[in-house]
Amino acid sequence: MTAGPAGDGRVIAIDGPSGTGKSSVAREVARRLGAGYLDTGAMYRAVTVAVLDGGIDPTDEVAVARLAEGLQIEMVTDPAVEHVVIDGRDVSEEIRSAEVTAAVSVVSAIPAVRRMLVEQQRRLTDDSTTVVEGRDIGTVVFPAARLKIYLTAAPAARAARRAEQLGLVDPGDITDLARTLRVRDELDSGRAESPLRPASDAVVIDSTDLSRADVVETILSAVLARGRSE
């Protein structure tokens, strides 16, 4: 993987595992700063939609990479809008399906897919200040980001939050969800290409006992402090 672009200094990187509230927090931070917002996970999910629609085995690295090379992925960096399009088709809702969630870690672990999307992610930020969230933003995509945040939370809290998002109330469903999150953590942290881990200079925020508003304010304070020190 090549080094990050010179524009890293305009990026606020927010990384962390599923269920920590990255997306909602990153959107709100971007809105408060008047900045752009990029959900890199949505790009991997878009590729996964195409893989599943094409009847391709997500573990077939050659076939998945070949498909990804020909995809046209469009993203909107307005934090108020979620708009993900592949080859002219809006998949903004489809990327959040259970089927896509179950397969996305396998697809996103494919080195060729990651290299392809990293280049697109760098181009999408261009010359504007952007809050970028994902799993390797501070370590690989923008290693010289203006500020790096690693958002974490206790497994039980993460499962409860994701269950609330999905409208799940049955204890059995929540237990299954916690198991799914654990498997995804293992896949994301154990992959050879761009594993999930905090950057050495990241500000680690444990959101277990914090509200979304608390996390947003903590990040905004870190942005302000970083600006004062530059």
Domain boundaries along the sequence of the chain: 6-229
| CATH 3.40.50.300 given to domain 6-229 | yes
Of 178, 58, 71, the residue nearest 106 (C-alpha)? 58
Judged against a pLDDT cut of 80, whether residue 72 lies above it is answered with: yes
Over the stretch 15-54, which tens digit does the pLDDT of each residue have? 999 889 999 999 999 999 999 999 999 999 999 999 999 9
CB–CB of 137/40 below 8 Å?
yes
Tell me the average pLDDT of the chain.
91
Average pLDDT score over residue span 101-109: 93
Residue 2: pLDDT band with limits 50, 70, 90: very low
User: Residue 100: what pLDDT?
Assistant: 95
Of 100, 102, 95, 107, the residue nearest 176 (C-alpha)? 102
Over the stretch 117-175, which tens digit does the pLDDT of each residue have? 999 999 998 778 999 999 999 999 999 999 999 999 998 888 888 888 777 778 777 88
d(CA 18, CA 161): 10
Q: For the full predicted model, state whether its pTM sits above 0.75.
A: yes
User: Residue 6: what pLDDT?
Assistant: 47
